[in-house]
Amino acid sequence: MVLTMDSQTKTENCLGWAARDPSGVLSPYKFSRRPLRSDDVSIKITHCGICYADVIWSRNILGDSMYPLVPGHEIAGIVKEVGSNVQRFKVGDPVGVGTYVNSCRDCEYCNDGVEVHCVKGTVFTFNGIDEDGTVTKGGYSSYIVVPERYCFRIPNNYPLASAAPLLCAGITVYTPMIRHNMNQPGKSLGVIGLGGLGHMAVKFGKAFGLCVTVFSTSISKKEEALNLLGADKFVVSSDQEQMKGLSKSLDFIVDTASGDHPFDPYMSLLKIAGVYVLVGFPSEVKFSPASLNLGMRTVSGSITGGTKVTQEMIEFCSAHKIYPQIEVIPIQYANEALERLIKRDVKYRFVIDIENTLK
């Protein structure tokens, strides 16, 4: 009896950094995680990537933030405890957690391993309402408790700091690239925007054997796009001559830009039956019907990915030695990092070293 009482005792044993109000300023915060259930994995967090979602919810940009808010949904760490029914993990295993930590587990999408599209609504890793009514708290924290189903195996030889950004930035571009068969060597891909998502789209494109063209508003990114990331071409999107020269030349476009931008000029670069995938969130999407109809083109949207494709992506990255370009920072620098992210001053993903700096 005493044991059950003990396991239910709520001790504030998790240390995190939280925003307290829409200023979004983060500071140390103690809270409790739920006791381990039979299907849970308790994870000592070593690293957490910084995603634009962290800015959006810490600052209440959508009006639905619940404070205190602990952001972070690109989580990598080590298993520290497993529930009695857990099959896939043991203590000491490297593990990842992405943008969601629960779903109904019973709808057609959950049954197909695309839990992110759960009919009853996925439970997001932070600022979500879990099945027990509690508000989820994310990866800017010392540990997290997540049902096994929503945890990902990270190969032993894959660095945890590099694994973190795969769990949102990586999977957000990998999912639609696989879904639309962009893994056909010799085809051509355009990538719009060269941030956290865009730079991963370039890396995947090259690994798939595609000819990759990067479109950016900023010429300053040209050198790195070509030499560091291995893109084949770089185009400043405002250069109308360069854009005209690429008319009807691309099989696929992955648009990662969240700033407002015109769509017709990019649509005209697609071949007949080309596919344009939008993964960013500009304030509106506007193009002429002719851009779509005359070229028999497809426009498609996407968000992260289900558990099945996420695990596949991690294994693909390990096998092909694909690593995000990261800037590792102490958690004490998180507020500055979020400011820099807003200014797009990061190459190409911040990763917080939780293990060594969250004290």
DSSP state of 215: E
Query: Quick one: average pLDDT of 91-95?
Result: 98
Query: Quick one: average pLDDT of 252-276?
Result: 95
Distance (Å, whole) CA 205 – CA 217: 20
pLDDT of residue 218: 85
Helices and strands: H and E segment counts in the chain: 13, 17
Distance (Å, whole) CA 138 – CA 75: 8
**Cβ distance 174 to 106 under 8 Å?**
no
Residue 43: is its pLDDT beyond 50? yes
Distance (Å, whole) CA 242 – CA 228: 22
Distance (Å, whole) CA 47 – CA 40: 20
Query: Which superfamily does 170-301 belong to?
Result: NAD(P)-binding Rossmann-like Domain (3.40.50.720)
Residue 71: is its pLDDT beyond 50? yes
Give residues with Cβ within 8 angstroms of 355, minimum separation 6.
44, 45, 46, 47, 77
Residue 2: is its pLDDT beyond 70? no
pLDDT band at 6 (very low <50, low <70, confident <90, very high): very low
pLDDT of residue 3: 39
Task: For strands 26-31 and 143-147, give the pairing.
Answer: unpaired
Say if 14-168+325-353 and 170-301 have the same CATH topology: no
CA atoms within 13 A on the CB side of 154: 29
Residue 8: is its pLDDT beyond 50? no
- The 10 Å Cβ neighbour count of residue 243 is 17
Distance (Å, whole) CA 335 – CA 239: 35
Distance (Å, whole) CA 81 – CA 176: 34
pLDDT band at 12 (very low <50, low <70, confident <90, very high): confident
Tell me what the pLDDT averaged over the chain comes to. Answer: 94
Residue 241: is its pLDDT beyond 90? yes
Report which of residues 124 and 359 the model is more confident about: 124
Note the pLDDT tens digit of each residue in 302-342. Answer: 999 999 999 999 999 999 999 999 999 999 999 999 999 99
Distance (Å, whole) CA 178 – CA 111: 19
Structure tokens at 275: 């596919």
Domain locations in the chain as residue ranges: 14-168+325-353, 170-301
CATH architecture of 14-168+325-353: Alpha-Beta Complex (3.90)
pTM of the model: 0.93
